[in-house]
Amino acid sequence: MPTRIITVSELKVKLGALMAELEAQGVPLYITQYGKPKAVLTRYDEYEALLKKVEDLEDILAMKESLSSPEKETISLEDYERQRATRV
């Protein structure tokens, strides 16, 4: 995936144009301040997809841990989902 790095100053001046470019091209913007990375600007749908992937990976990890430790007490799916919701 291509990388686009901009400064906070550039972001302030060109926000409208950068947002249009982001929507059209889908290339995330890595934002720096004083030469150090501070943030990433990406399309909302890509951000939501990333959060979903992280959630799925957390679920898979929890299942693997559960299967590798059968001596631990198990919980219902509903209880697990409640616990996960409180972490988010």
Nearest by Cα to 77 from 64, 61, 63, 56: 63
Question: What are the pLDDT digits (tens) for 26-70?
Answer: 999 999 999 999 999 999 999 999 999 999 998 898 888 877 776
| pLDDT value of position 57 | 93
What is the per-residue pLDDT for 30?
Answer: 97
C-alpha closest to that of 3 among 52, 53, 41, 48: 41
pLDDT at site 88: 62
- pLDDT above 70: residue 10: yes
Phi, psi values for residue 38, rounded to 5° = -125, -30
DSSP state of 74: P
Per-residue pLDDT, averaged over 12-33, amounts to: 94
Of 78 and 49, which is predicted with more confidence? 49
Domains of the chain in start order, with CATH, are 4-42 (3.40.1620.10), 46-87 (no CATH)
